[in-house]
Amino acid sequence: MSFNNSNDYKIQTLFTLIIILFPMIGFAQKNKFKNVEEYSRWLMGYHENPQPDLLFTAFIYGVTNKEIGQSDGITLVISFFGSIFRTDGAIMMNFYDKVKTYKSGNIYQGFIASLWMANTTSSKALMERLLEDKGKKNRKGDQNESEKPFDIYNDPISDPTELDMIWADFFATGNSEDIKRIIKVLPSNNMISNAAKWSLTSNGIHYKKVFSIIQLESIENDNELIRKMLKELLIEINSN
């Protein structure tokens, strides 16, 4: 399933927008999001400050906000909630109970896509159940269950958008292996490695855990070239 109309790593993506706007004044946590900037900070900072009670509010905002949709940021949003569902079945079921009462196509499609992205036995079963409940099992535009989403843990990274999916998992879970997986593509010397370098630098500036992993891998990684590249990244990070 594709959520991005282009393979280019455009600055219009929500991910880039977040990095650009992050240095702005900190925001106070509230029950509602006033704008995309506030929402973006909350989503990317979730691994540091989990707030499960706000997840459904954040989901509704993310899948219905026009600015996010127009920036192709829906990839990051769907991937984020796919990771939430992958790690917490109770939250996934709570979403199901709420989503089935909504009539909005964006909310329904966003939930189906997030279940698909979670790619677990329970999420696929729930996706089928929702399709049947809505009487839309064969409706054109619903997710084709024969398709497989990008496996953030195992599939080769062939597009910068897939890096965003891995980052979304980190933002949702704080999983250190996500950062290590991104680090592995640094020596590729292509569009993927350039995107990885940029995102590691940006997030290394803003998040202590990302910085700590980069710092540790610059010493302990088995690949000499990667160690060298990470040391160069640390110089850039520390200069900001």
Provide φ and ψ at 85, rounded to 5°. -65, -35
Confidence label for 135 from pLDDT (cuts 50, 70 and 90): low
Same domain, yes or no: 167 and 182: no
Same domain, yes or no: 124 and 48: yes
Euclidean distance between CA atoms 31 and 48, whole angstroms: 18
pLDDT mean over 126-145: 65
| Token digits of residue 154 | 């195992």
Same domain, yes or no: 114 and 227: no
Euclidean distance between CA atoms 213 and 140, whole angstroms: 44
Per mean pLDDT, which range of 13-27, 122-136, 170-184 is the poorest?
13-27
Residue 29: its H or E element: none
DSSP-derived letter for residue 11 is: T
Same domain, yes or no: 123 and 202: no
Same domain, yes or no: 47 and 59: yes
CB 68 within 8 A of CB 77: yes
When comparing pLDDT for 72 and 41, which is higher?
A: 41
Would the pLDDT of 212 be above 80? yes
Confidence label for 103 from pLDDT (cuts 50, 70 and 90): confident
pLDDT mean over 195-211: 96
Confidence label for 140 from pLDDT (cuts 50, 70 and 90): very low
- Identify the pLDDT of residue 136: 56
How many domains, in total, are found in the chain?
2
pLDDT in tens, 145-156: 457 899 999 999
- Identify the pLDDT of residue 25: 31
Same domain, yes or no: 83 and 27: yes
- Identify the pLDDT of residue 105: 87
CB 73 within 8 A of CB 58: no
HSE-up of residue 193 (Cα within 13 Å, Cβ side): 12
The parent domain of residue 223 ranges over: 176-240
Same domain, yes or no: 83 and 117: yes
The pairs formed by 101-108 with CB atoms below 8 angstroms and a separation of 24 or more are: 104/64, 106/63, 106/64, 107/59, 107/60, 107/63, 107/64, 108/134
Same domain, yes or no: 152 and 182: no
Same domain, yes or no: 214 and 225: yes
Euclidean distance between CA atoms 125 and 185, whole angstroms: 34
Residue finishing a domain among 156, 174, 192: 174
CA distances from 30 to 54, 64, 133 (A): 9, 19, 33
Would the pLDDT of 26 be above 60? no
pTM more than 0.85: no
Same domain, yes or no: 33 and 71: yes
- Identify the pLDDT of residue 96: 94
When comparing pLDDT for 238 and 144, which is higher?
A: 238
- Identify the pLDDT of residue 11: 34
